[in-house]
Amino acid sequence: MSRQGFRVELAPTEEQRIRLGQHAGLSRLVENFALETVKAALDQRAAEKTYGIPEGELTLVPWSAPALESAWRAAHPDRFPWFVEAGLSSRVPKEACRVRAAGFRAFFDSRSGKRKGRTIGFPCWRRRKHGGRFRYDADRATPVDPRTVRLPGVGKVATREDMSWLVDRLAASDARVLGATVKERAARWWISFQIEVDRADLDQRRAAPPDAPACGIDLGLTTFATIVDTDGTLTEIRAPKPLKAGLRKLRKANKALARSQRGSANRAKRRAEVARVHLRVANRRTDFLHKTTTRLARTKSAIAVETLNITGMTSNRRLARAIADAGWGEFARQLDYKTNWYGSRLWKADRWFPSSKTCSAPGCGQQHGGLTLAERIWTCGGCGVVHDRDRNAAANLLSAMLADAA
């Protein structure tokens, strides 16, 4: 059994849209209530220390989800009586407390070094402009049929996409729902099911052929991916660069938003248009990355990629937007789990592996130490072979993977 996500777009009625918005507002309120509770406890502890109260007798801070949920249950009858009167789902506050507790845990793990990656700051207030979302735990939200889902507190909501793949597996007990997240973006609603599913039969039918070639992949901006196979085949994949393509519309939409009067109906329309442009950009990038990674995982026996310091690279203000538009990090993430699905193998080179400046000619291997980012073609000083930077890097990655596997 493996875990994965399954997302479909909802087609709610106007009344259901209102209910979805109410649950998103409830989740936001509970997250802010949890943060308020923690900050109040921290302030109380600070005051008690000035009174000389011993450490063991100080007010406890409710960092955990159960403690936050207990505080919510005690407070909502008096502070938020409308919660029960409106008939909203009790599962939403429970999950909101878990989300907030996970944020506190990530903050402390980041400070102590247990969490890798960029430093996580202390959780901040959640605002309406951050977008509407809420969660259900376990299988509280579940598909009823291929075109309908049941959401507690909302009812049966139609979907714009067919869910036969999930419904059939749930009926056969080959899958189970672990949780569900409902999210709004650009006035459209989606539900993402987190499921545990038996993919053995599906992955076997779509597995990479036994005689499939291995390949090395060099990622770039002009050419998104330069692929060199073991049989010598060279493939270049061009990225759609969705943000670059949508910049004109985005600038126009943002200018219209800036000119509109705050609080007016027109400003709401302009804000919605900006959100729609961003959504189209994100959808184009997501579609390209999923199709590309699926094709590679199902047609290659092994794939060698470089480990890129994307965070460091985006500090270059001249390249940051283009790098973010390419989606290299998401490309590597998708390859990681899809190669596991389809029986291929993903090999990641060390971050400092000199793939671009090492001569890939047989028997050479000399490094061109002064290679700059602007040099796309260079000549090896040892053997005299002229190299295309990207093709040379892909070939070196492939050779390093094969040597490592030998």
Annotate 233-273 with three-state secondary structure.
CEEEECCCCHHHHHHHHHHHHHHHHHHCCCCCHHHHHHHHH
Residues 280 and 164 in one domain: no
User: Of 197, 225, 243, which marks where a domain is finished?
Assistant: 197
Q: Is residue 208 part of a domain?
A: no
Q: What pLDDT is stored for residue 178 in this prediction? A: 96
Q: What pLDDT is stored for residue 247 in this prediction? A: 95
Structure tokens at 54: 């011993």
pLDDT band at 379 (very low <50, low <70, confident <90, very high): confident
User: Of 197, 223, 254, which marks where a domain is finished?
Assistant: 197
Residues 162 and 286 in one domain: no
Phi, psi for 305 (deg, rounded to 5): -130, 160
Q: Is residue 253 part of a domain?
A: yes
Q: What pLDDT is stored for residue 116 in this prediction? A: 84
- Cβ within 8 Å of residue 329, ≥6 positions away: 308, 310
Active-site residue set: 218, 306, 390
Residues 363 and 393 in one domain: yes
Q: What pLDDT is stored for residue 177 in this prediction? A: 96
Residues 80 and 218 in one domain: no
Q: Helices H, strands E: what count in the chain?
A: 12, 14
Q: What pLDDT is stored for residue 183 in this prediction? A: 97
CA-CA distances (angstroms) from residue 293 to 24, 138, 169, 366, 373?
A: 33, 30, 24, 32, 26
Over pLDDT 70: what percentage of the chain?
Answer: 100
Q: Is residue 206 part of a domain?
A: no
Q: What pLDDT is stored for residue 380 in this prediction? A: 86
Q: Is residue 49 part of a domain?
A: yes
Residues 67 and 166 in one domain: yes
Asked if 163 contacts 99 with a C-beta cutoff of 8 angstroms, the reply is no
pLDDT band at 191 (very low <50, low <70, confident <90, very high): very high
Q: Is residue 298 part of a domain?
A: yes
pLDDT band at 370 (very low <50, low <70, confident <90, very high): confident
Residues 265 and 172 in one domain: no
Residues 293 and 384 in one domain: yes
Average pLDDT, the chain: 93
Residues 143 and 41 in one domain: yes
Q: What domain count does the chain have?
A: 2
Residues 254 and 326 in one domain: yes
Residues 362 and 393 in one domain: yes
DSSP reduced 3-state for 194: strand
User: Of 171, 197, 223, which marks where a domain is finished?
Assistant: 197
Residues 254 and 161 in one domain: no
What is the span of the domain harbouring residue 384? 214-405
Q: Is the pLDDT of residue 24 over 90?
A: yes
Q: What pLDDT is stored for residue 321 in this prediction? A: 94
Residue range 176-183: mean pLDDT, rounded = 97
Q: Is residue 205 part of a domain?
A: no
Read off the pLDDT of residues 236-249 as tens digits, 9 standing for 90 and up. 999 899 999 999 99
Residues 170 and 123 in one domain: yes
CA atoms within 13 A on the CB side of 5: 10
Question: For 307-321, 333-347, 368-382, 387-401, which range has the lowest pLDDT when averaged over its residues?
Answer: 368-382
Q: What pLDDT is stored for residue 376 in this prediction? A: 86
Q: Is residue 204 part of a domain?
A: no
Q: Is residue 327 part of a domain?
A: yes
Read off the pLDDT of residues 295-343 as tens digits, 9 standing for 90 and up. 999 999 999 999 998 888 888 888 999 999 999 999 999 999 999 999 9
- Our measurement of the distance from residue 228's CA atom to the centroid of its chain's CA atoms, rounded to an integer in Å, reads 28
Q: Is the pLDDT of residue 406 over 80?
A: no
Read off the pLDDT of residues 101-127 as tens digits, 9 standing for 90 and up. 999 999 999 999 898 878 899 999 999
